[in-house]
Amino acid sequence: MRHRGRITSWNDARGFGFITPDDGGARVFLHIKAFSKATRRPAGNERVVYALARDGKRGPSAASAAFAGAHPARRGGAGAGGIAAASAFLFLLAISIAAWAGKLPMQVPVLYWGASLLAFAAYLVDKSAARSGRWRTRESSLHLCALVGGWAGALLAQQTLRHKSRKQSFQSVFWVTVIANLGMLGLYISPSCRHALGVALGWTIKG
């Protein structure tokens, strides 16, 4: 028998929450593993359909859950994500060429490539933890990776792994870190700032 209700409590970091049934009664425990065919993670307040199971520790639990009235992903969003991911790769390629041409210190692409690989790995680990219900990576850690230069790898991970790309609150902070990082890079590229940082860090800067 299928039941209907609304997710009135959700802890995304731990991968579980509770459903308030439409027909009343006790709240129903909901674990992320109950969504066998979900294309996205709950954010809270979604309507769901589910089967009831019994858990000796938690009482009524949801099984075979699905979002009620879920709409397929819009193609426009997927296209925009693909463009953003391609732009991230082109950015990494551009700073690598600039460094090879002597316009930037080699440390710059090394930093961006290294931070991007670290960010991609962090997203991969978090995606795996989300699927298995294990402890999640802090969103602040993912944002820190982006801020220090790993935003290109993070953006590639969001699109290829389909992870954190639909959570609006996360995306808002993520793009702030991207803008902040590019702003710092822009300041560094300016001749006066480059010279001051080069002296402070002991980098040899050409051009």
pTM for this prediction: 0.59
CA distances from 90 to 62, 108, 137, 185 (A): 45, 15, 28, 16
Full pLDDT tens readout for the chain, 207 residues = 788 899 998 988 888 899 999 887 788 999 888 887 666 788 888 889 988 887 667 678 888 888 886 544 444 444 566 788 888 899 999 999 999 998 888 999 999 999 999 999 999 998 887 767 678 788 999 999 999 999 999 999 988 887 888 778 888 999 999 999 998 888 877 776 656 656 665 655 454
For the chain, the maximum distance between any two Cα atoms, rounded to a whole number of angstroms, is 72
Are residues 25 and 120 both part of a single domain? no
Are residues 86 and 147 both part of a single domain? yes
pLDDT of residue 64: 86
Are residues 95 and 172 both part of a single domain? yes
pLDDT of residue 76: 44
- Enclosing domain of residue 112: 75-201
Are residues 59 and 97 both part of a single domain? no
Q: Is residue 206 part of a domain?
A: no
Are residues 80 and 20 both part of a single domain? no
pLDDT of residue 69: 67
Q: Is residue 20 part of a domain?
A: yes
Residue type, 55: D
Position of tokens 């961006």?
112
In contact, 151 and 178? CB cutoff 8 Å: yes
Are residues 34 and 105 both part of a single domain? no
Are residues 47 and 149 both part of a single domain? no
- CATH number reported for the structural domain that contains residue 49 in this entry: 2.40.50.140
Domain boundary among 36, 67, 98: 67
Are residues 58 and 80 both part of a single domain? no
Q: What are phi and psi of 25, to 5 degrees?
A: 100, -175
Dist CA 60 CA 63 (whole Å): 10
Are residues 37 and 127 both part of a single domain? no
In contact, 136 and 12? CB cutoff 8 Å: yes
Report residue 188 as tokens. Answer: 């560094």
Q: Is residue 207 part of a domain?
A: no
Number of folded domains that form the chain: 2
